[in-house]
Structure formats: structure tokens, C-alpha cells
A and B are shown apart, each in its own frame.
Chain A
Amino acid sequence: MANFRRFQPNDLNKISKCNLDPLTETYDLSFYLQYYAKWPTMFQVAEGQDGNIIGYIMGKVESSPDVYQFSEHYLPWHAHITVLTVAPEARRSGIGKILTEQLEAAADAHDAWFIDLFVRKSNHKAITFYKKLGYSVFRVVKDYYGGHASDPTATSEDAYDMRKPMRRDKEKKHVREDGETFEVDPADVW
């Protein structure tokens, strides 16, 4: 049964229900701790029985580095979902949505233009989930992921860069209709 709260480092010893699922990547410790250090309110967990973590979201707010200011791919002040995962046993109960909405609220509080994320093109469940929540494909990043989630013969996989405009973007300047046809290279995203 779920409790929603901020992440704390000891949770890293309780994330097996989420991280042993093949669609959830495990990162180096410094990666998690960096988010906890800089954006602690954007790292939220859903805690189940016995302290087991049954879902978490890890995000941040930022702009592209200044050196890219004049690039067409420059991203203004926005929020980013770096990791979202819900343990298989806890899916379809709205936990993913609650965690995402919390991050969206934080993005609005930080006056971000939009919130974005990358997802494997083959991850239909997640794409459906995000679309249901109002996200749309903004661009396709070719060969963004090494290896393919469902095709063992493929050496790479494209990513969808999905976005949802936040309150600040009243005119919906930061989303587009035909994002699926808009391709970029991994070098164009930061």
C-alpha cells in the first residue's frame, strides 16, 4: 500500500521491486545522489509494505548549457523527467500518474516552459501512459539508446523526446503536432 514521500538515500537499498524490471535502468550512485543533492523535491517515491519502494520519479529543472544558446536545439528553462518507474505489481493503480503530476506541479512552481523526457520507441506502455497524461512526441532522437529493448538483433534504438507544455507556455510554443516526423541526432540533445 502506498505512501508518497521524498526520496532518501536509504531507499536505494529498497528499490529492487522497481529496478529488477528489465525496463528500468540502474545508474551509478553519484547519479541518484546528484539529483537528491540538487533537486530533492523532484525526487519522489511511492513506498509500499516493509519500506519497499514500489515507484519513483527523478527529475530536474534546467536550461541547455549557455554555449548552445544560439543552436536551434537549445532548450529554455524546463523540467525533465529523468527516471519514472513503477514496480510491476503496483502498476495501473495511478501511481505513475500521481508521481508525474507531482513533478509537473514542481515544474510549474519553478516556472518552467515545459516538461520533457526520453522514452524508447518500443516502450508502448510508457508512450501510451504519457500520451494519456497530455504529453506528445516533440522529436525522434535517432539511435539514442544502445541496444534494443525488444529486438536482440538490433544494436540501437530510437528515442521519442516527449513534451508537455506547462502553465507558462500559454501559446503552446514548445510543442508540435508532427513530432514523430522530426528527427535529430543524439548529439543534438543535451
Chain B
Amino acid sequence: MSSSYPRPTLKSSVDLQLRNAFHDGNWQQAARLADKRARTLKDPYYQAIAVAAESQLDTPQEKCAALVTIQNCLKNGSVVKDGEILDLYEWASHDLLDESQYSDTHGQLRLRLVKAAPRDKPAVLHSLRLCLLHWDLVNAQQIATMLDKTFVADRHFLFWNTLVTFMLSTSPQCPPEKQKLYSLLALKQLERAADLTEKGDKSGRAIRSEEEQLLFFRVLASQGSKAVLLQQLKSPVLGGIASFERGRKQLFLEALDAFDAAKDHDSVFEMCHRVLGDTQNDGTLNLLGSDWLVWKRFIAAAAAQTDSDGAFAQVHTVLESYVSERDTLRPVYSRIVSLAILELTFRISSTLDPSSCGGESIRVAQIHSFLEQNYDKLACFDDLKPYIEQLSFAEANHLITKTVPALERNDPKRSLLVNILGLKFRHLVSTSLQAVSPTECIGDDGFQPLVACKWCGSVVTMSCNSCLEQIVIEAVEKQLQYEKESETIANFEKEDVDPAEELTVVAAMSLLKLSGLRHREPQPASPLLGIDMHYFLQAVAILDNHLSKNPDRAPIRILLIHLYVLIGCASYAYQIWLPLDVKRTIQDSLAPLFFDRIASFAPGLFRTGPGFKRIVEPMRSYYRSCLKLRAPSVLWDALEAGSYTSVFDISEYMNKLRHSCTLVMSIIEERKGIRALLGKSESEIKQVSFIASVTPETNLAVATDYGSMPCLESSNTTPLSEIVRLGPGLSNTRSHLEILTEEFLDIINHSHPKEYKPSRALETLNGDKLYVMEATDRLHESMTSFLQQGSTPSLLTPAEESHFTTISLLAALVSFAVPLKKENHTLEGELHMLLETLVSTLDITTEDFGSVSADAPNFAFLAFGSIHSMSLFLSSALAIKNTLAFLDRLNEKQLALDKTGKTAFPKTLLKELEPLGDTAENVLKDVRSRIKAMKSNLDEMGWMDRLAGWTFGSVAVDLEDSEIEALGQKGGNFQEVSEKVYDLIGGMTGCETWGVKILESWREGIKGWELVKTE
């Protein structure tokens, strides 16, 4: 009892014997002693101790002692005047009351106590604290108001009061008819305080601190009119600039956002001008506001002025003052200034025709000067990327073929860094639309739009393979050369730049592009279908080779995890994942990088028992610990510290965390993994505390962070993170569909324990049927509404889409079938259609599944690459089988209870369901034989040669022409590329070291699959 809630310390006046009994959890004795003291001392506090101690005892009646006492108090309107008595009751009844009931129970009692003794400040504060931490804004608001009224001299309480009133007004706890009232109340109080400040009134009830000022603007932004907000933000006393002048930056940034959102370019221009042109007392520049964002907005606002030339001239003047002080600026500010110059140049010249000046434009010249200063910074490429994307081909060509090489010096370190940048630029341009032009050529199939590469003239469908191959060749050559130059290596040892890593990333990205891995509409059944296996595996090999030598770098690790998941090497991906040490706070944003869909590609990782740990345990304990209380205790710290915006932001963050897609994922994936292995779930999904309150209307928040994924691509192509993922990222829609699916499975897999024998069996059965009918109907409705949204196909893998469709149809089937009785013959239409749709949904998946032939020369690659679809295919078939079994059980029960057979299912229904059962059985058979085929394939000999052949073709192993053809080995520069990559990873030895990892991981994976229930 009450284990999760801190046990109150007894008052110091309590005698030692009772105190010890209470402290030691000796509840019988504590209850008896307290009761005795209560009688002799006539102090209700002892009675409360007795009740609290009794509530820890075993019988249901005893357990409810505190709860009953509270309910009595509530009913008869009595006031408990001793806050410590309430503490005892709260502790003793905590596990029996849901947090949402706090407001109507303890919260009420707290409020009564405050009303009875409003001047007892510690008690009032304690009550307010508890209401807030239990997120009972209704009572908190009333207490805060009383606090403010009673202690007028304490100015903080004015802001506490307005803050809590405002939070209540925006919360679902507030009755809709009172929302306006409370928000106005908060706004008016703050406007009055602001007014006093504006008039120079230094009295207590004016706004003084930065946090008070920020609170005022938050409330104003949310409740006031936009015009008033913008007006106030310009105030010479409380506005953004006035605040900046006092060294406070936050409000200035918020003001800038507000004017920018309102497209008030004049104000944006003015504010930025004022801030960027600001100097300190000694005449040097004040850099407080000299952020990149401010410069960018300044220049954009200048472009939007009617006299843009004049505005640009003003920008130029401000920039000059920075340029003249450049030597004294920290490198980051100096870089910001260089970028601002670049931004200005691109803005001004965007009105000119860039092609008119050929490749040697002023824009390229500015990029050149940026490069001169920043070529050695790791962020240089990211800084320049948006500008290079705007160049015409002629300009890009000039940059890459003339400007960049000209930066090389007789300094190997500098030259290497410049070369790396050059390769990155080439990759960027080669993969963007800049480098191609439409051509007249018609492809073999007559449909594909073809383009010509502007560099080499090749006719291509997407990006130019021949150019990409050239990039790989050069990147690998540079790396091979670098590895031989110990002096240059020593030069980089203390740096945060690792040239080998940079070159590996460029080569791997180009190889992935060459493999054809890309975003496709509609998505193929598996991301690996139709891609070039050789280049794909070369990318994996080259990254793996680098990681084994440099284990500390996260970006390569993250990319590799994704690639290994794609080829079904789950256990190895997990080994790569672990050293990232994703724990505690960052799990919400990073755990999906490995754990999303994990049950579908690695059910074996969910094995339990000695030697296996629950892989989602770190997530589980993280969420459990930080979502224990409805609001974290730091919320009170923030209020006490006067950090009002922190109160808002923390509560908003916690609310999102409570409804996080990662949290849902951690629960669902574990259920799916365990069910795959054990055939059942440990509990019902709606009994899981975090899920219980989720309804289809709940907005589940996505927090996934792909920021550490390498990114060399042009911004007009799909980001790498989306291409290397097994499917679309976490989403509100998918999370809901997963929860609804679990709910459905809970219904059909539910069976009463054997000893369950209700007295009115038929009535109970009818009640159960009614529940099932309504619940499945609701599930079908909810799933359909998610599935029918236009964006849904892009949020799911094809396998998921057909699985969720199957589940939704099964829910419809159950809700349709359950009420049917023998005499009811009108089955045909609806049921028929439903069953047909179900069978055809499964047929489509069967077709995809069948496209991977066991005779394919690269069967394992294809089969492991489509393991996610296989898993969902299996889940759909099992769901069908279990649904039919559920209906069967129901029918049997009905027959047993109503011997007339009148209420049993019509025979026609059972007949209609048969083909569905057969289809499901066939699927299960197919999956079983696929697993068997994969296993026996892996048991074959000669795997190292086979993997080497799949990766490097005839470069690594002797292959017959027919084998070369069967594996799809290409001509062109394939040979040269493969030779280089093969060389880099250490020839056959390196290839074997790497191949063993793949093979072992596949074998480990199959071991897991052999444990999966397919019956």
C-alpha cells in the first residue's frame, strides 16, 4: 500500500513508541497505540495516525479506512484544520484514488483548510504545492487567489495567482463557461501591473523582474489581441528592445518572432538594426544579439522593404562595423559575419540573372572568401550548403572545378580538408537538380523521364551514377593515401575533425545513392527490393570498417544501425547501438532510432529468462520514474524561484512526455515481441497505466531526433534518415493504430479462467457478447477513421497498412457476427464483402511475400531484407486464426447454454468463414517454410565467398558469367569502385572479418525466429 508515495514524518510531539511503530511499518501496533493516544489526549491527529496505519493492513475494509474517512468529511462538509492530518490521509489513500480524482477529494479538503485559516501561511503554501503537484488547478487557483488577497504585501503572490489562474483557463479542468473569465482575470491583473510599470510606479504590484515581464507577454500573446501584443512589444519600458537594453535577450527574441510571424517587416528591420548596431560603453560591439538568426531576419526584412536598396545599404554599413572588428571577434561570430555577407550577396544578386555572369559570379567569389576563412571548420559544409544549392550549374561547376582546387596549398593538412569539402560539394550538386537537364531521350520502357548529367553528359534517370562512382573512387583513394601519411595523421590527432571519417561518409553516401536506395512512391514491400545489392553492401562494409577503428563517433554508428536493421542483422545492430549509451533523458528522442518496429525485425531479442534482459527496461524505468507524479516537484521549485515561464514550459513538456509516441512504442514493441514468443500478452493494454487514459483523440507527440545522422544531401531530396529507415517514422496515427490493434487482440485472446463459473451463465454470456460487439464496433470505427486519412499510407509501411486493415476488418467481422442468431439469414451482402476484402488484403501481401524466391542467388539478403513484412504477414494470419477460434468458442458456449441451438451462429456463417481460415493457415505454412528455408540456407557452406561475391562481385571472388548476371553486377565503373573499396576494407581478410558479423547475426536472428509461435 502507498508504496510509491512518500510516507509523512510524524509530528515531533508524538511519543517514541508510536513513532517507531509507524516508522518501522509495524501497522497493527501503530494503529492500536495511536487509537489509545487519541482517546486519552483527545487530539484528532492521533486518530488520523490510527486511520492511516489501519489503511496499511490487509482486509479490504481496513485498506479503505482513510478513504472512507475522507469521503465522510467531504460528505458532511467538515473541515480538517490540521494540514498534517490531511498529509496522513493523502498518503494512506494514494493508491486507491486516481490522480484525476484529487481535485474532488484531497484538493477540496485542502481548500477548506485554507479557507478556514487563510493567514496560516505555511499551511496555505503547503496546500497550494500539493494541489499543483497533483495538477489540481481548480483548487490551486482558489488557494492562490486567497494567498494573494491575504498577503497583499507579498508581491510574488500576485504573479503566482495570475499564473495559476491563467493555467487553469487554458486547461481542460476549467469548465468551458469559465475559461474566458479566468483568462481575462489573469490578463487584467497583469495589464494593471504592466500599467504601473509603464507609469514608473515602483510599488510592489508593478512588473519588475524579467520573468514577470515574460509572464505578462505569454498571457497577452495567448489571450489578448494581436495588435495590442505587438503594440506592447514596442513599449519603451516593457518592450523587446527596452528589455534588450537592460541586458535581457529573451523578450527581444520573442518579440522578433512575433513581428516576423505578423510579417511586420518594418519592425523586424528596425529591431535587428538596433540590436546588431548596438555598442557597449567602451564603444566596442555589443554581441548579445549578434546571432545568426538575427542577421538572417535583418537581411530578409531589408529585402522586404519598399526601398530595399536603401535597406541593403544599411545592412551593409552595420556589417562593415563588424568586419572592421573581425580580428577581435570569437571565431563563431566571425563566421556569422561571413555568412551574413554571403546571405546579403545572395539576396541582392537574386534579383540579377545569375547565368549572365557565367560561373565566375560574385556569389562564387563570396563563397570563396568564406572558404578561405572557414575551410578547416567541420561545420563549413553545413554552413554553405543552402547557398551552394542556389547556384546555377555554371557557378557550381566553377566552384568545384576552379575555386576549391585553388584553395589547396603546399600544406597536406589544408589540402586534405579542402579536398574533402570539394568531394562533399560534388556529392551535393550531383544529387540535386542543378546537375541535370531534361533531355529528349526516351528510355527503354518509354516511360521514365530521362535527364542528362551536365558534367559528363551521361543520360540518367536520377542522379548521375558515373559522377557518383567517381566521387567514391576519389574519396577512397584519398583515404588510402591518408592512412599512409603518419605526419598528416599526427596533425589531426588533437583535432575534432577526423578526415578518415569525413571521407568514409562521403564514399558511403555516394555508394548508397548508387545502390538506388531512395524514397519511392508507392513504397515497395521492402526498402531493399530492386536496389543494387553490391553498392549497398559496399556502403555497409566501408562504414563498418571505419567504426571498428574509431568507435567514438556517433553519426556513423547511427547510420550503420539503420543499415543493419534493413538487412535483418538485428542482434549486430543492437551491439552497435549499446555503446551509444542512450539512457535517461535522451531516450525519448533517440530510442526510436533502434527500437522502432523492433518486434517485427528481431522478436528473438525479447527472449526472457536467465541470461536475457528486458531490452526496453531502461525506457520503462525512465518513464516510470519521471511520470510518477502528475506534475514534477520542480514545478514548485520554479514557482518559488519566480521562474514563471519555466512553470509553463515544464508542464507543457511533461504533458507531451506523458503522451509520447516513444513511450507508446516501448510498451507496444515489448508486448508484440513477447506475444510472438509466448503466444500471449502479460496484461491487457488498457491496464497499462500510461495507455489507460489514451483515447483516439489524444494527440501522441513525436520527439525523434535525427540530428546526428550524417547529412550531405541537397535539401530538395528526401533526408537520409527517411531513406535508411525500415519505414516511416513514429507518428500519432501509427501509435494509435498499434494501440487499437492491441485492444482488439486483447478481446479475441481473452479467455476466462477455468474456475470462472458465473451463476447466471446465459445472462453473463449475453452481457459479454454485448460488450464485445460494442467494443469491436468502436475499434473498427476508430481504425477506419485513421486508415482513411489521406496521409496514412505515407505514415505506414505497406505491410503495416495491410495488417492494420486486416485487424480493422476483423473487428468489423466480430461486431457483425457476434449478434447473429440461427434464424437470422440475411448474411450475404455485408459479410460477404467483408470476407472478400479480408482475403484480398491478405492475397496482396502473399504476392509480395512470394516475390522473394528461395531459388534466388541472394535469397538470404532478400529474405532478411523483408523480415518486417514477413512478421506482419504472420501477425495478420494469427489474428485471423485467433478471431475465428474466438467466434468458435463463443458459439460453443452459446450452444452449451442454450441447447435449442436457436441462439447459436447460423451454419452459413460458419461455412462462409472457412475459406478465411484456410487462407490464414496457408499463410502460416508459407511463413514456416520461409523460416526453414532461411535456416537451411544459412547452414550451407561457403558463406564468406558468397558474401564477398554479393558485395564486390568478381573483384573478390571468381564468378561465372551467369553468376555475374544473376547477381546483377553492373558494368561502367563498378570494377574500379569495387577494387578501391575492397582495398580500403583490407581485401579478403577485412571482408571476412565483416562477413562473419553479418552471418552470425543472421544465424542469431533465425534462432529467434525459430522460437516464434506460428501456430
Q: Which residues on A are within 8 Å of B, measured CB to CB?
A: 1-6, 8-10, 12-17, 19-22, 26-30, 32-34, 36-41, 46, 48-50, 52, 88-95, 97-98
Contacts A13-B589, A50-B707 given; does A95 touch B332 at CB 8 Å:
yes
Question: Is B801 positioned at the interface, with any CB of A under 8 Å from its CB?
Answer: no
Question: Is B552 positioned at the interface, with any CB of A under 8 Å from its CB?
Answer: yes
27 contacts between A and B (CB under 8 A): A1-B336, A3-B294, A4-B249, A5-B250, A9-B649, A13-B588, A16-B554, A20-B708, A21-B552, A28-B584, A28-B625, A29-B622, A33-B634, A34-B634, A36-B646, A37-B637, A37-B641, A37-B647, A38-B637, A38-B643, A39-B641, A40-B643, A90-B332, A90-B378, A92-B496, A94-B332, A98-B330
Question: Is B66 positioned at the interface, with any CB of A under 8 Å from its CB?
Answer: no
Which chain A residues border B635 with CB–CB below 8 Å? Answer: 37
**How distant is B931 from chain A, measured CB to nearest CB, in Å?**
36
Q: Are B586 and A16 in contact (CB under 8 A)?
A: yes
Q: Are A1 and B585 in contact (CB under 8 A)?
A: no
Q: Are B646 and A40 in contact (CB under 8 A)?
A: yes
Please measure, in the bound complex, the distance between the C-alpha atom of A27 and the C-alpha atom of B625, giving whole angstroms.
Answer: 13
Which chain B residues border A4 with CB–CB below 8 Å? Answer: 249, 291
B643 nearest CB neighbor, chain A only:
A40
Q: B650 touches which one: A17, A37, A48, A98 (CB < 8 A)?
A: A37
Which chain B residues border A12 with CB–CB below 8 Å? Answer: 585-586, 588-589, 653
Q: Are B707 and A52 in contact (CB under 8 A)?
A: yes
Question: Is B645 positioned at the interface, with any CB of A under 8 Å from its CB?
Answer: yes
Interface residues of B in 625-678 (CB under 8 A from A): 625-626, 632-635, 637-638, 641, 643, 645-647, 649-650, 652-653, 657
Q: Which of A19, A28, A88, A92 has the most CB of B within 10 A?
A: A19
Q: Are A38 and B641 in contact (CB under 8 A)?
A: yes
Please measure, in the bound complex, the distance between the C-alpha atom of A52 and the C-alpha atom of B291, giving whole angstroms.
Answer: 15
Please measure, in the bound complex, the distance between the C-alpha atom of A22 and the C-alpha atom of B557, giving whole angstroms.
Answer: 13
Q: How many residues of B contact A (CB 8 A)?
A: 57
Which chain A residues border B583 with CB–CB below 8 Å? Answer: 26
Please measure, in the bound complex, the distance between the C-alpha atom of A48 and the C-alpha atom of B377, giving whole angstroms.
Answer: 14
**A-B pairs with lowest CB-CB distance, top 3:** A94-B330, A37-B638, A20-B554
Which chain B residues border A37 with CB–CB below 8 Å? Answer: 634-635, 637-638, 641, 643, 646-647, 650
Q: In terms of DSSP, what is the predominant structure of the interface of chain B?
A: helix
Which chain B residues border A32 with CB–CB below 8 Å? Answer: 585
Question: Is B331 positioned at the interface, with any CB of A under 8 Å from its CB?
Answer: yes
Q: A93 touches which one: B211, B332, B632, B646 (CB < 8 A)?
A: B332
Q: B292 touches which one: A1, A33, A89, A95 (CB < 8 A)?
A: A1
Contacts A40-B643, A52-B707, A93-B330 given; does A3 touch B585 at CB 8 Å:
no
Q: Are A94 and B331 in contact (CB under 8 A)?
A: yes
Q: A27 touches which one: B211, B584, B632, B649 (CB < 8 A)?
A: B584
Q: Are B643 and A1 in contact (CB under 8 A)?
A: no
Which chain B residues border A40 with CB–CB below 8 Å? Answer: 211, 643, 645-646
Q: Are B650 and A9 in contact (CB under 8 A)?
A: yes
Question: Is B97 positioned at the interface, with any CB of A under 8 Å from its CB?
Answer: no
Q: A3 touches which one: B291, B626, B638, B707 (CB < 8 A)?
A: B291
Which chain B residues border A30 with CB–CB below 8 Å? Answer: 626, 632-634
Interface residues of B in 559-590 (CB under 8 A from A): 580-586, 588-590
Which chain A residues border B586 with CB–CB below 8 Å? Answer: 12, 15-16, 19, 26
**How distant is A54 from chain B, measured CB to nearest CB, in Å?**
8
Please measure, in the bound complex, the distance between the C-alpha atom of A97 and the C-alpha atom of B330, giving whole angstroms.
Answer: 9
Contacts A8-B649, A37-B643 given; does A29 touch B330 at CB 8 Å:
no
Quick one: CB contact mask for B276-317 with A, threshold 8 Å, 1 for yes? 000000000000000111100000000000000000000000
Please measure, in the bound complex, the distance between the C-alpha atom of A27 and the C-alpha atom of B291, giving whole angstroms.
Answer: 28
Q: B703 touches which one: A5, A13, A46, A48 (CB < 8 A)?
A: A13
Question: Is B1012 positioned at the interface, with any CB of A under 8 Å from its CB?
Answer: no
Contacts A16-B705, A29-B626 given; does A36 touch B650 at CB 8 Å:
yes
Q: Are A2 and B336 in contact (CB under 8 A)?
A: yes
Q: Are B653 and A9 in contact (CB under 8 A)?
A: yes
B336 nearest CB neighbor, chain A only:
A1
Which chain A residues border B250 with CB–CB below 8 Å? Answer: 5-6
Question: Is B327 positioned at the interface, with any CB of A under 8 Å from its CB?
Answer: no
Q: Are B634 and A91 in contact (CB under 8 A)?
A: no
Question: Is B383 positioned at the interface, with any CB of A under 8 Å from its CB?
Answer: yes
Q: Are A28 and B383 in contact (CB under 8 A)?
A: no
Question: Is B859 positioned at the interface, with any CB of A under 8 Å from its CB?
Answer: no
Q: Are B584 and A93 in contact (CB under 8 A)?
A: no
Q: Are A14 and B638 in contact (CB under 8 A)?
A: no
Q: Are A89 and B637 in contact (CB under 8 A)?
A: no
Q: Are A33 and B383 in contact (CB under 8 A)?
A: no
Question: Is B382 positioned at the interface, with any CB of A under 8 Å from its CB?
Answer: yes
**How distant is A169 from chain B, measured CB to nearest CB, in Å?**
22
Q: Are B632 and A33 in contact (CB under 8 A)?
A: yes
Please measure, in the bound complex, the distance between the C-alpha atom of A93 and the C-alpha atom of B554, giving whole angstroms.
Answer: 21
Please measure, in the bound complex, the distance between the C-alpha atom of A20 and the C-alpha atom of B589, giving whole angstroms.
Answer: 12
Please measure, in the bound complex, the distance between the C-alpha atom of A50 and the C-alpha atom of B386, giving whole angstroms.
Answer: 12
Contacts A14-B707, A26-B583, A89-B496 given; does A33 touch B332 at CB 8 Å:
no
Question: Is B37 positioned at the interface, with any CB of A under 8 Å from its CB?
Answer: no
Which chain B residues border A95 with CB–CB below 8 Å? Answer: 332
Instruction: Name 7 extra pairs, CB < 8 A, besides A12-B585, A14-B707, A91-B496.
Output: A1-B336, A16-B586, A20-B590, A36-B649, A38-B641, A38-B643, A93-B331
Question: Is B10 positioned at the interface, with any CB of A under 8 Å from its CB?
Answer: no
Please measure, in the bound complex, the distance between the C-alpha atom of A29 and the C-alpha atom of B653, giving whole angstroms.
Answer: 11
Which chain B residues border A20 with CB–CB below 8 Å? Answer: 554, 580-582, 590, 708
Which chain B residues border A22 with CB–CB below 8 Å? Answer: 552, 581
**How distant is A85 from chain B, measured CB to nearest CB, in Å?**
13
Q: Are B379 and A26 in contact (CB under 8 A)?
A: no
Which chain B residues border A21 with CB–CB below 8 Å? Answer: 552, 554
Q: Are A16 and B589 in contact (CB under 8 A)?
A: yes
**How distant is B619 from chain A, measured CB to nearest CB, in Å?**
13
Question: Is B333 positioned at the interface, with any CB of A under 8 Å from its CB?
Answer: yes
Which chain B residues border A28 with CB–CB below 8 Å? Answer: 584-585, 622, 625-626
Please measure, in the bound complex, the distance between the C-alpha atom of A32 and the C-alpha atom of B647, giving whole angstroms.
Answer: 14
Q: Are A29 and B646 in contact (CB under 8 A)?
A: no
Please measure, in the bound complex, the distance between the C-alpha atom of A26 and the C-alpha atom of B625, giving whole angstroms.
Answer: 16
Question: Is B335 positioned at the interface, with any CB of A under 8 Å from its CB?
Answer: yes
**How distant is A100 from chain B, measured CB to nearest CB, in Å?**
12
Please measure, in the bound complex, the distance between the C-alpha atom of A6 and the C-alpha atom of B291, giving whole angstroms.
Answer: 13
Q: Are A1 and B645 in contact (CB under 8 A)?
A: no
Question: Is B947 positioned at the interface, with any CB of A under 8 Å from its CB?
Answer: no
Q: A38 touches which one: B249, B293, B638, B703 (CB < 8 A)?
A: B638
Q: Which of A9, A14, A41 has the most CB of B within 10 A?
A: A9
Question: Is B253 positioned at the interface, with any CB of A under 8 Å from its CB?
Answer: yes
Please measure, in the bound complex, the distance between the C-alpha atom of A32 and the C-alpha atom of B637, giving whole angstroms.
Answer: 13
B627 nearest CB neighbor, chain A only:
A29
Quick one: CB contact mask for B699-727 with A, threshold 8 Å, 1 for yes? 00001010110000000000000000000
Which chain B residues border A1 with CB–CB below 8 Å? Answer: 292, 335-336, 339, 379, 382-383
Please measure, in the bound complex, the distance between the C-alpha atom of A40 and the C-alpha atom of B586, giving whole angstroms.
Answer: 20
Contacts A28-B626, A89-B378 given; does A2 touch B291 at CB 8 Å:
yes
Please measure, in the bound complex, the distance between the C-alpha atom of A109 and the C-alpha atom of B554, giving whole angstroms.
Answer: 38
B374 nearest CB neighbor, chain A only:
A93
Which chain B residues border A97 with CB–CB below 8 Å? Answer: 330
Which chain A residues border B705 with CB–CB below 8 Å? Answer: 13-16
**How distant is B676 from chain A, measured CB to nearest CB, in Å?**
30
Which chain A residues border B552 with CB–CB below 8 Å? Answer: 21-22
B290 nearest CB neighbor, chain A only:
A4
Q: Which of A33, A50, A98 has the most CB of B within 10 A?
A: A33
Contacts A30-B626, A37-B643, A90-B378 given; does A10 touch B293 at CB 8 Å:
no
A15 nearest CB neighbor, chain B only:
B586
Please measure, in the bound complex, the distance between the C-alpha atom of A161 and the C-alpha atom of B338, giving whole angstroms.
Answer: 38
B381 nearest CB neighbor, chain A only:
A89
Q: Are B585 and A26 in contact (CB under 8 A)?
A: yes
**How distant is A123 from chain B, measured CB to nearest CB, in Å?**
13
Please measure, in the bound complex, the distance between the C-alpha atom of A181 and the C-alpha atom of B582, giving whole angstroms.
Answer: 37
Which chain B residues border A19 with CB–CB below 8 Å? Answer: 586
Q: Which of A28, A89, A95 has the most CB of B within 10 A?
A: A89
